[in-house]
Structure 1
Amino acid sequence: MSIREIPLIIGGEKVISKSTNWLDVLNPATQEVVAKVPMATRDEVELAVANAKQAFASWRKTSLTQRMRIMFKFQQLLEQNTQKIAELITEEHGKTLPDAEGEVGRALEAVENACAITRLQLGDIANNAATGVDVYTHNQPLGVGVGITAFNFPVMLPAFMFPAAIACGNSFILKPSEQDPSATMLMVELALQAGVPAGVLNVVHGGPDVVNQLCEHNDVKAVSFIGSTHVGTHVYNHASQHGKRAQCMMGAKNHMVIMPDANKDRAINDLLGSAFGAAGQRCMANPVTILVGEARNWLPEIAERAKKLIVDVGTNRNADLGPVVSPQAKQRIISILDSGVEQGANLLVDGRNISVPGYERGNFVGPTLFSGVTTDMDIYTKEIFGPALCVLEVDTLEQAIELINANPNGNGTSLFTSSGYAARKFENDIDVGQVGINVPIPVPVAYFSFTGSRASKLGDLGPNGKQVTQFWTQTKTVTARWFEPDHQDGETVHTTISLK
């Protein structure tokens, strides 16, 4: 089996890094090395920024129509290569092929939003704001932008960043996750094939040193990050201290509330899919469910259905979940699950020791379900980022809302009910950025912005929707007044246009 050597992309060309530090990219189901990725040198990062800066000078003046047409072509190529991209995601990340194909679909939505740039980047005008005076705004690109993405969505997360950024006229440097870079690289190559000019879209790989260098660089104007709270907080503070505009979408502890009047079968199916799909490695997964009133009687059925979920390699289309991304991730997940037992939660479904025949070295963790969970337990306070579900029980919707609002995170939450009154009360009283009503994972379609809140988000503006255009542009306001030409050289200059 050949091992891919992941290149950098600088100035529109694939560049083999001169770094002496290369990391193995592993297939999480087999532990086989499928690729090697470099930690870019300081000179290589500097070269990427220099190319991006140079390309920006002409790209910013490229017409909106031309930028839009490139996005349309990119969308077409991305759709045509869905299967190939999904296979790379499954090979390096581990998620099932249907999940991976769904990820490409969500990436397509973000690219399609960028295709609307001719409308999203329009300015405003006030004619005769004062007598004979017009005031109008231009939404102009910032310059060189940077995107730093996590491993869990190697195609969707970059799609939240660079398509909109370059459609707005910026140049861009992407720093993808080193754990599963191949799908990201194919996506970028398709963008270049679609007509993105050399230097407008660049890729460097690396760890904290590369991230810090980008955040500190004088020619970088904005930084977008999606990943863990620890890293995101550092990126936001570091970028802000160096004068960058920054947005960071970070950790979560999402809750699903199930009312006793909910459609039982749909609620349980959606709960299990949102908790255990993608092996729980979603920032919008539902690792906590709150059963209200008589809905707590559904717990035995929830547990029985969880036990029947299929754990297998991602290439098995019948699998409900594949392996987690790395041995380190598996070790961390199981350590937190062990703490749940030690701290007194009831372990109803145990996936800690699962083994998949033929793939005994794989990073598999099976569906794990706890009841009797309290809010001071580690399984509740920590983001497990694995296939684990914590069940809490309350008597009323008001108690559920109070419990969720007391959690520091505000990424997403959902309510399953048949009551319009309960739904309206929930969406108005809950202090969480993204709310689902009978929708388990309330990530909005891409023409609405991703709107996590509180400890799940730093920065005023989110990716996608109208907000993404606001983040990647700066407003220039012009106040203009024009006079009829005056006398010149003692003669009157006559005009053929009446300005009265």
Structure 2
Amino acid sequence: MTIVGHFIGGKHVADAERTQDVFNPATGSPEKQVALASKQTVESAIAAAEAAYPAWRNTPPLKRARVMFKFKELLEKHADEIVALITAEHGKVSNDAMGEFQRGVEVVEYACGAPELLKGEHSKNAGPDIDCWSEFQPLGVVAGITPFNFPAMVPMWMYPMAIVCGNTFVLKPSERDPSASMRIAELFQEAGLPDGVFNVVNGDKVAVDTLLANKTVQAISFVGSTPIAEYIYSTATANGKRCQALGGAKNHAIVMPDADPDYVADNLMGAAYGSAGERCMAISVAVAVGDEAADTLIEKLKTRMADLKVGPGTDVSNDMGPLITSAHQQKVKGYVDLGVKEGATLVVDGRELEVEGHDKGFFLGGCLFDHVTAEMKIYQEEIFGPVLCVVRVETLQEAMQLIDDHEYGNGTCIFTRDGEAARYFTDNIKVGMVGVNVPLPVPVAYHSFGGWKRSLFGDLYAYGPDAVRFYTRRKTITQRWPSAGSSEGVRFAFPTNK
């Protein structure tokens, strides 16, 4: 059986003393194993990054950008290969995997603008014969810890911007679907990236804790569940590191009475059940304003869910693939059981779904609850599966209060034809990413991604302009070249321009 190792200093490294199965979720069978890095292996990756840093730091931004241009070209050339790796290990339908991959490549494309992004600020004659300017200097060795649900895109939120800013990088991808990151590391090297600038270590908590504790690592980027995000943030900052830790979500869509019901139902199907609901921006709660809007929504969703095609991700005619593991499949089923016990109305039950020829796959059909209330755990907790909860309220204000009271503030949207309602919603809702008739308001690469409340720990968002701020330190230099004989004598007062 193939063992996926590590990529350190431009070379494949084994370290297979501890391994873990990598499953194909559609068949339920282990098809590879992944090596779980020891503390020593992670430290060797950090050392390789540290050794590569001085030369890379002093590489002109234009030359770094040229590597990124070549990297983007190679990614696009090998897109089908990488997408196949994502589908084989994550399970998502291949056209969905291609969408993920392309959104990641857009961040690489943004990073190609490094010469412009890293330009400093200059003030001539800030004082008598004094010039002042600011520079954006890299931090050093930085690291990323990424989740299973976007094995290509989320890592690409991090390392292209970190590297183009002059840092070197250690990536710890999810051990559940490691192969995409390993192949991409090879392509990055082929693009001309010097050895040691980008390293990949596969592993578990041992690898994570080594990155958090090592003093050479200057910053940590993380995407995952809120409990882990909080642990990453508190541990990293306690160790003096800069940290951005993106956590969980419970994304609400408000459905106003004036919204086009067919448009709403079509969009909610993709937003709730795409990628089997394993998205941090998935809509998992639809808040219908008024019983008429709720009843109409339920009927239209039921009709569409009857046609929902679930099966292996290699078949692009399928709408939804399997969940990532058997354990997660059972966890999501447990939430559906709990919702029934809590008194919600299970309108569509996907628990007994069978996919012909894939009886051992980790499949779960789409589930739809009505009459969900804020006191229920299926409302409060992130399920991360193909489960949509419908909550009924009477007014927009009641719907917004529901969202504002939730501990998560990642994404939200409103479906409406009323510009006044939409403007009020976008201006006042306490959520980081907001859509108007857009159910997955994921910012494009030249904006930044991040939520509010317990969906983000740290001050700066991922990718976009915030990435430059996160992966660099501002240094301000004040310089004076006095003319000969221009000394004004000793002065003890604080200098001013007065």
Number of the residue aligned with 2:50: 53
Shift of 1:485: 4.5
Q: What's the TM-score, normalizing by structure 1? A: 0.95
CA distance in structure 2 between the aligned counterparts of 1:267 and 1:280, rounded to whole angstroms? 17
Shift of 1:394: 1.1
Q: Is the 8 A contact 2:415 2:437 kept in 1?
A: yes
Number of the residue aligned with 2:236: 239
Q: Is the 8 A contact 2:37 2:206 kept in 1?
A: no
Secondary structure of 1:385's counterpart equals: coil
Shift of 1:304: 2.1
Number of the residue aligned with 2:430: 431
Q: Is the 8 A contact 1:239 1:246 kept in 2?
A: yes
Q: Is the 8 A contact 2:224 2:247 kept in 1?
A: yes
Shift of 1:406: 0.6
Match of 1:207 among 194, 204, 222: 204
Number of the residue aligned with 1:172: 169
Structure 1 residues 208-232: Cα deviation after superposition (integer angstroms, max 9, x where no partner): 1111111110111000000111111
| RMSD (Å), alpha carbons | 1.1
Does structure 1 residue 278 correspond to structure 2 residue 275? Answer: yes
Secondary structure of 1:418's counterpart equals: coil
Number of the residue aligned with 1:116: 113
Gaps of 5+ in 1: 488-500
Number of the residue aligned with 1:160: 157
Structure 1 residues 137-162: Cα deviation after superposition (integer angstroms, max 9, x where no partner): 11000000000000000000110010
CA distance in structure 2 between the aligned counterparts of 1:332 and 1:229, rounded to whole angstroms? 17
Match of 2:258 among 258, 261, 272: 261
Secondary structure of 1:145's counterpart equals: strand
Q: Is the 8 A contact 1:307 1:367 kept in 2?
A: no
CA distance in structure 2 between the aligned counterparts of 1:353 and 1:229, rounded to whole angstroms? 30
Does structure 1 residue 76 correspond to structure 2 residue 73? Answer: yes
Number of the residue aligned with 2:359: 360
Match of 2:181 among 158, 179, 184: 184
Secondary structure of 2:143's counterpart equals: strand
CA distance in structure 1 between the aligned counterparts of 2:390 and 2:306, rounded to whole angstroms? 15
Q: Which moved more, 1:282-291 or 1:258-267?
A: 258-267
Q: Which moved more, 1:80-89 or 1:363-372?
A: 80-89
Q: Is the 8 A contact 1:92 1:179 kept in 2?
A: yes
Number of the residue aligned with 2:142: 145
Does structure 1 residue 135 correspond to structure 2 residue 139? Answer: no
Number of the residue aligned with 1:491: none
CA distance in structure 2 between the aligned counterparts of 1:485 and 1:161, rounded to whole angstroms? 50
CA distance in structure 2 between the aligned counterparts of 1:4 and 1:57, rounded to whole angstroms? 35
Number of the residue aligned with 1:11: 9
Structure 1 residues 169-189: Cα deviation after superposition (integer angstroms, max 9, x where no partner): 000000000000111111121
Secondary structure of 1:287's counterpart equals: strand
The code of the aligned residue for 1:209 comes to V
Number of the residue aligned with 2:491: none
The code of the aligned residue for 1:238 comes to T
CA distance in structure 1 between the aligned counterparts of 2:231 and 2:304, rounded to whole angstroms? 40
Structure 1 residues 59-82: Cα deviation after superposition (integer angstroms, max 9, x where no partner): 000001000000111111111111
Q: Is the 8 A contact 2:38 2:206 kept in 1?
A: no
Number of the residue aligned with 1:397: 396
Shift of 1:484: 2.6
The code of the aligned residue for 1:212 comes to D
CA distance in structure 2 between the aligned counterparts of 1:208 and 1:16, rounded to whole angstroms? 18
The code of the aligned residue for 2:420 comes to Y
Shift of 1:302: 1.5
Shift of 1:234: 0.8
CA distance in structure 2 between the aligned counterparts of 1:61 and 1:485, rounded to whole angstroms? 34
Number of the residue aligned with 2:318: 319
The code of the aligned residue for 1:59 comes to W
Number of the residue aligned with 2:489: none
The code of the aligned residue for 1:237 comes to S
Number of the residue aligned with 1:344: 343
CA distance in structure 1 between the aligned counterparts of 2:364 and 2:183, rounded to whole angstroms? 29
The code of the aligned residue for 2:309 comes to I
Shift of 1:301: 1.7
The code of the aligned residue for 1:217 comes to N
CA distance in structure 2 between the aligned counterparts of 1:423 and 1:282, rounded to whole angstroms? 25
Q: Is the 8 A contact 1:139 1:476 kept in 2?
A: yes
Q: Is the 8 A contact 1:149 1:176 kept in 2?
A: yes
Shift of 1:190: 1.1
Secondary structure of 2:283's counterpart equals: coil
Number of the residue aligned with 2:387: 388
CA distance in structure 2 between the aligned counterparts of 1:52 and 1:418, rounded to whole angstroms? 52
Number of the residue aligned with 2:305: 306
Number of the residue aligned with 1:452: 451
Shift of 1:381: 1.0
Secondary structure of 1:160's counterpart equals: helix
Number of the residue aligned with 1:43: 40
Number of the residue aligned with 2:122: 125
Q: Is the 8 A contact 1:113 1:464 kept in 2?
A: no
CA distance in structure 2 between the aligned counterparts of 1:379 and 1:304, rounded to whole angstroms? 23
Does structure 1 residue 413 correspond to structure 2 residue 412? Answer: yes
Secondary structure of 1:150's counterpart equals: coil
The code of the aligned residue for 2:481 comes to W
Structure 1 residues 359-404: Cα deviation after superposition (integer angstroms, max 9, x where no partner): 0000001000000101111111111000000000111111111111
CA distance in structure 1 between the aligned counterparts of 2:414 and 2:74, rounded to whole angstroms? 37
The runs of 4+ residues in structure 1 deviating greater than 3 Å are none
Match of 1:97 among 88, 94, 97: 94
CA distance in structure 1 between the aligned counterparts of 2:472 and 2:82, rounded to whole angstroms? 30
